[in-house]
Amino acid sequence: MDQEKKTLGFYAHIYKMILLQDLKSKMSYRADFIISTIGMLFTNISGFVAFWILFQSFPDIKGWNYYEMLFLYGFSMLAMTPVQCFFDNNWNLSRALRTGDFIKYCFRPVNLFFYFISEVFDVKGLGQFAFGIGTVIYAWNKLALPLTFANIAWLIIGVLSASLFMIALMNFAAATGFWLIGATSVMIFMFKFKDYARYPVTIFNRAFQFVFTFLIPIGFMAYYPSLYLIRPEHLSVLTYLTPFFGVLFFYLSYRFWMRGAKQYTGTGS
C-alpha cells in the first residue's frame, strides 16, 4: 500500500483489528483478567484510603483543602488512563529488544511506533477511569463548581492534554532501552512521579517547583489544568499553555522513540 494511502482511517481500521485480537486473547484467560482487574480496583481504593487518612490529621496542606486535593487526585487518575490503556506495551519494549522480538515490527508497512504500541490494550485502565470520574464528580459537587459548557469543555481538554505528559514521560523512559540495558528501571523511576502529580506544585520548594514544571513536567498532569476549574483566581499562563506543551512534549517523545527504533539492528545473534 502506498504511503499516501495510509490515512487516519487506515490506522483506525488497523487498530480496531489489533484491539479485537488482543481482547479475545485476554478473555480466553478470564480468571487472570478478573483477578488483575480486582487487583487494580484495590490498588485505587488503597490509594484513596491513604489519601483520606492523610487529611484526617491535616485539615489542609498549605491552604489546599480536602476537596480541592481530592479533585486533583481524581483529575490525575483520569490523565493516567490513556497511558494505562493504550501505551502499556512500552513496558515490554526492553524485553522485546533484548530477545530480538522487536525486529518483527521493523518489516511491516505501517508506522513502527503505532504498530508496537497498538498490540496491547490494558482494559484494567477503564476501571481506573471510572474511579477517577467518580472522584472528580464527588469533589466537583462538594466544591460547588459551576456546571457550565466552558468548564466541561476545559475538563475534557485539560485531561486529554495532561495525559500527553505522562504518555511522553513513559515514551522517553521506554526508548532509553534502545541504548541502555536497564530501561525498565528507568521506567519504574519515571512512573513513580505520577504520585506527585496528585499534589499542587506550590506545596514543594522552589527547586522542585521548577523540576516538576520544566524538567519532569508532572505539574501539568493535574495542577496547572485544574486551576481553571478550582482556583480561577490563581490562574497561571501555564494553564492555557497546557494543551500546546502537551502536544509538543508528546511529539518530542515520539521522535526520540523513533530515533532509537530506526537505529535498531537486532540482537546480533
Per residue in 46-71, pLDDT (tens digit) is: 777 877 887 777 778 888 999 999 99
Task: Inform me whether the pLDDT recorded for 1 exceeds 70.
Answer: no
Q: What is the dihedral of CA 12, 117, 188, 164, to 10 degrees?
A: -30
Phi/psi of residue 11, nearest 5 degrees: -70, -35
DSSP secondary structure letters along 146-207: ---HHHHHHHHHHHHHHHHHHHHHHHHHHHGGGT-S-HHHHHHHHHGGGGGGGS-GGGS-HH
d(C-alpha 77, C-alpha 156), whole Å: 13
Q: Express as a percent the part of the chain with pLDDT over 70.
A: 93
Confidence of residue 243 (pLDDT cuts 50, 70, 90): very high
Question: Residue 3 — pLDDT band, cuts 50, 70, 90?
Answer: very low
Instruction: Give the tens place of pLDDT for each residue, 174-230.
Output: 999 999 888 899 999 999 998 899 899 999 999 999 999 999 999 999 999 999 999
| pLDDT score recorded for residue 266 | 66
What grid cell was written down for 78? Answer: 483520569
Question: pLDDT value at position 153?
Answer: 97
Instruction: Catalogue the E-assigned strands of 75-152.
Output: none
On average, the pLDDT of the chain sits at: 88
Hey, CA dihedral for 38, 43, 47, 53, is it positive or negative?
positive
Per-residue pLDDT band for 89 (boundaries 50, 70, 90) equals very high
Q: What is the predicted pLDDT for the residue at 258?
A: 96
Q: For position 2, what pLDDT does the model report?
A: 45
Q: What is the pLDDT of residues 31-42, one digit of tens each?
A: 766 776 677 777
Determine the pLDDT at residue 21: 81
Q: Which pLDDT score, from 0 to 100, does residue 188 have?
A: 94
Each residue's pLDDT tens digit, 103-150: 989 888 889 999 999 998 888 788 889 889 999 999 999 999 999 999
Domain boundaries, the chain: 3-262
Cell of residue 99, nine digits: 530477545
CA dist 66 → 38, 135, 162, 235, 251 (Å): 27, 12, 22, 20, 35
Question: How far, CA to CA in Å, does 217 sit from each of 60, 159, 208, 242, 249?
Answer: 24, 15, 10, 10, 9
